[in-house]
Amino acid sequence: MAIHTAQDLVSVEDERIKTLYKYDLLDTPSEVPFDKLTRLAANLLKVPIAIISLVDKERIWFKSRFGLETQQIDREEGLCVSATLADDFYLVENAATDPRTAGHRFITGAFGLKFYAAYPLKTRDGYNLGTFCVIGKEPRTLSAEESEILRDLRDIVMDKIELRLASKTAAARQHQLLNTTVHDLKNPLTTIPVRADLIKMKKNDPDMVDAMCDQIKIASLNMVRIIDELLQSGSMEAGQIHLLLMKLNVSLLVSNVVAMNQPLAERKGQTIYFSAEMDVMIQGDEGKLNEVLDNLINNAIKYAPADTNIYVRVKTRINQVLIEVEDEGPGLTAEDKTQLFQRFTRLSAQPTAGEHSTGLGLSIVKVLVEAHGGRIFVESEGGKNKGAKFSVELPMLNHQKHSTSH
């Protein structure tokens, strides 16, 4: 049997309160669906009072109440607090004689509470926010059927609470998406008219005009990349991932993506070392795998300092091909690793030459790799120049075996 110290209990309660605040229910206006459920509970179970309570640090606040005018009460042990700390059904058939409620002011005072039954409002991650409870002023019990009714109503309440949080989180993500998009598009959009004006001023200097045109091209491509990522993410949310599968030489595919990114690396004084086993064949969507590889190699260039090395390798394992992209950048923290493939993630490392990111790239990469029946994982110790190595595993066609060449 586990023995919990007072410190353990305080820590659990702190986490419970933190979870309660995350749901953002306290002090919110009454909502018709919740009020209908408390009224339904009172009518079905033939009790004068039904409450959806939330247990805060020093108070118990009622999200919905039927048969009671009070909006909140001070927190004290017994009843809602005890039911919130319980794992499951909490029943007091006669509060006047029950030692758990001895001295509670609602029992000894004018209110005259005698009967109390509740199920805790348990979140998906196991924390109890409060209770769905029914109260009577005469001793009684609940039959198994009545207890089931109360539990079902509690489940409906929690479904609505979880849906409410999901909607709030989705709205926050949309807001974040808007801010991210505006921020990431603003810089290249500002670059284009400035460079166009410089071209007009320097039209007699061909080298300067060429340089300005290159910068406009890069800014435009950055905008295309941002918009493509946003469109790709939207399609994935709608479940619209369609793969055009064909036989592909993965060594050649990776080699082409390395070549496309070579100019970006050269601008930062970086060297890309590519090695591959010859003619490794897979079944895949060429365009989508190009996106995966381009994102990983581009990230290595983006986050690694100037004058460092990037290693891209294609290896074979039993029934699988392994594609590795390794850099000499700052690496990933433990927190980075937990958030790495989530949407809109901003990592602790920052691009080393002012590049921008929507925070969608790696989440898209993960979905595309898994759609091909593969997996992606990362190795990184973190710390200065420790770097990160992203590895993509894909099913190999016909379980080939090949000799190695560089």
Among the three residues 168, 199, 214, which one is the final residue of a domain in this structure? 168
Among the three residues 168, 199, 230, which one is the final residue of a domain in this structure? 168
Residue written as tokens 């290159």? 214
Question: Is 134 in a helix, a strand, or coil?
Answer: strand
pLDDT tens, residue by residue, 388-398 = 899 999 998 86
Residues 38 and 129 in one domain: yes
pLDDT over 60 at 71, yes or no: yes
User: Looking at the domain assignment, is residue 387 inside a domain?
Assistant: yes
User: Looking at the domain assignment, is residue 187 inside a domain?
Assistant: no
How much is the pLDDT for 1?
40
Please give the structure tokens belonging to residue 406.
């560089």
How much is the pLDDT for 339?
73
Distance CA 229, CA 254 (A): 20
* Residue 48: band (very low, low, confident or very high) from pLDDT cuts 50, 70, 90: very high
pLDDT over 50 at 402, yes or no: no
Average pLDDT rounded to a whole number, residues 70-93: 84
pLDDT tens, residue by residue, 83-121 = 888 878 999 999 888 888 777 777 777 788 899 999 999
How much is the pLDDT for 24?
92
Residues 6 or more apart in contact with residue 50 via CB below 8 angstroms: 38, 39, 41, 42, 65, 66, 67, 132, 133, 134, 135
Distance CA 230, CA 226 (A): 6
Residues 59 and 145 in one domain: yes
H-run or E-run covering 375: strand 375-379
CA 310 to chain centre: 29
Q: How many domains does the chain have?
A: 2
Torsion of CA 237, 243, 248, 250, to 10 degrees: 10
pLDDT tens, residue by residue, 140-169 = 999 999 999 999 999 999 999 999 998 888
| Phi, psi torsion values for 13, nearest 5 degrees | -65, -40
| 406 CB burial (10 A radius; 0-12, 13-18, 19+) | exposed
Question: Is 359 in a helix, a strand, or coil?
Answer: coil
User: Looking at the domain assignment, is residue 236 inside a domain?
Assistant: no
* Domain housing 101: 6-168
Residues 152 and 301 in one domain: no
Residues 347 and 250 in one domain: yes
Q: Find the CATH number of the domain harbouring 312.
A: 3.30.565.10
* Residue 358: band (very low, low, confident or very high) from pLDDT cuts 50, 70, 90: very low
Which residue would you say has higher pLDDT here, 227 or 73?
A: 73
Residues 263 and 138 in one domain: no
Least confident of 3-17, 37-51, 62-76, 254-268: 3-17
Residues 292 and 392 in one domain: yes
Average pLDDT taken over every residue of the chain: 82
Torsion of CA 270, 403, 372, 331, to 10 degrees: -30
pLDDT tens, residue by residue, 171-209 = 776 666 666 666 666 666 777 888 888 888 888 888 888
Residues 11 and 154 in one domain: yes
User: Looking at the domain assignment, is residue 156 inside a domain?
Assistant: yes
User: Looking at the domain assignment, is residue 137 inside a domain?
Assistant: yes
Closest CA to 136 of 118, 119, 120: 118
Average pLDDT rounded to a whole number, residues 293-305: 89
Residues 116 and 263 in one domain: no
Dihedral sign (CA 126, 132, 137, 141): negative
Residues 252 and 343 in one domain: yes
pLDDT over 70 at 279, yes or no: yes
User: Looking at the domain assignment, is residue 276 inside a domain?
Assistant: yes
pLDDT over 90 at 381, yes or no: no
Helix/strand/coil percent split, the chain, to 5: 45, 20, 30
Among the three residues 168, 196, 222, which one is the final residue of a domain in this structure? 168
Residues 274 and 403 in one domain: yes
Q: How far is CA 248 from CA 71, 375, 396, 404, in A?
A: 66, 18, 10, 18
User: Looking at the domain assignment, is residue 193 inside a domain?
Assistant: no
User: Looking at the domain assignment, is residue 377 inside a domain?
Assistant: yes
Q: Spell out the long-range contacts of 226-229 with Cβ–Cβ below 8 A and sequence spacing 24 or more.
A: 226/181, 226/184, 226/185, 226/356, 226/358, 229/358, 229/360, 229/361, 229/364
* Residue 299: band (very low, low, confident or very high) from pLDDT cuts 50, 70, 90: confident
Q: 288-324: string of b/e by CB count within 10 Å (b at 16+)?
A: bbbbbbbbbbbbbbbbbbeebebbbbbbbeeebbbbb
Residues 42 and 164 in one domain: yes
How much is the pLDDT for 182?
67
* Residue 406: band (very low, low, confident or very high) from pLDDT cuts 50, 70, 90: very low
pLDDT over 90 at 330, yes or no: no
How much is the pLDDT for 187?
65
